[in-house]
Structure 1
Amino acid sequence: MSRLWFNRFMFITTLILVSSLILSCTPATRIPLPLLTYTQPQQNPNLLVILRGIGGSAEDFERLGAIAAVRQRNLPFDVVVPDAHFGYYKKQTLVDRLYEDVIQPARQQGYQHIWLAGFSMGGLGSLIYVREHPEDIDGILLITPFLGWDGIIHEIKDAGGVSVWQPGTFDPADDWQRMVWSWIKEYQHALPLGPPSPPIYLGYGQDDSIADEGPPLLATVLPPCNSFHIPGGHDYEVMLTIFRRHLDTLRDQFPVDTP
């Protein structure tokens, strides 16, 4: 076994063990969904909702510089980070909690545009939410999204790609992978009719062994200018680099006068 494959094997083995521990002691879900809110002195007309991955915490985004990256670009966005941990996915309450505790209150407060930024598991959560409430979200930034295990990805690739793959009959409540990829297939079919709504921007590490083949497969669905990859794997440094690049794209769409 080569050193590269041995290292990957050990990394995946460790991940499985850590994931098992996480799943066996999933934090309790709360109503309403706990939020960390970051506003600025000037009133911003837009909101960026950041969805976390399976590890770490909602506080990590400020600690590691993600919130500062938004402010440094003078983006006309407030930021909210829900503590949307794995428990909400496991109980299938993520969409309801985001709708009732984050998105609807934001609209009532007068925010004009609401974007989602999903890291890893949060990327999956972003797509799950938009599948049910596409009218609520104005754009999605995906950062190394986890989109399913190897089995479903290989099934789609072996069929010849997303456009020709047939998901078959399934219960969305029991098969989230087919649910998500079926929606991606519908999204792809709608692209020739006009600008996609909401637009999806994708970034991922080309050496990612966690999200693995899901993001490159999604990239085949999106307009070429909406996806990119950089060297690196599934770690904070790579994710933050991708996030900053997404923010530059967002700045191009929401230009403001710099002081």
Structure 2
Amino acid sequence: MTRSRGNGDRAQSAVVGVAVLLGITVVGIGVLTAAAGAVVEEGATAAATARVADGIDDALDTGTVTETETTVRLADGTLRTADRTVRVLGDSGVVWSVNAGAVVYESRGRRVSAVAGAVTSGPGGRSGGSSMSAPPSVAAADGTLYVGVPALNASGTDAVSARGAALPVTLRTAPTHERRILPADRYRVAVETTAPAAWEREFRRRGTTTVRRDFDGDGVPSVVAAFPGERTVHLVVHDLRLEMEVGA
């Protein structure tokens, strides 16, 4: 006997959808403004990186949808932006993609990276030792897949490095938001990342199967997560229009 979905299931789906779509904005803006300060102030020992990850988690709870400006002081290491693409694939292949970009902090063999709404930290390279402290804004519920992607759309300085002396770096965001719905299909979400193991663990925890694929041949893999069954996609892109400049 097949059990029909009642009002409780639909209500749960609506709650999940609203929570994800609202949380996307918090993730995108919180990471790039409030969290960056914790990253560059702490340095890059293992213990410090753990504190950075905790600080990023806290920043996600205090994000804003308005224009923001934050000045951080870079005492050691490099803070930079990097090209990263997020794709949504259906049965016919790639149906949507965006250059989401990433903010990356590296020092003394440690790395913290914010991409596609998630934060990973750990040793540099792709040894598999990275962990995810803030998850992406992706959730499946009641025949729907909710996907949120902060896109940097960065301008100004691409990379800032400091050794010893405190160097002020100003981050500004002026976000806009675009929403769209993709029709029912069997969907996969692909995220380009230098910390694929952390993304694979997170996606598998959500009940997906994953593979790695280098879509553009640049040597940076994408983790492709397949969500079971046919679903419609509720997609939200937060264009942050990030500016990164040296100086207070």
TM-score, normalised by the number of residues in structure 2: 0.29
Structure 1 or 2: more helix by fraction? 1
Relative CO higher for 1 or 2, CA cutoff 8 Å, sep ≥ 6?
2
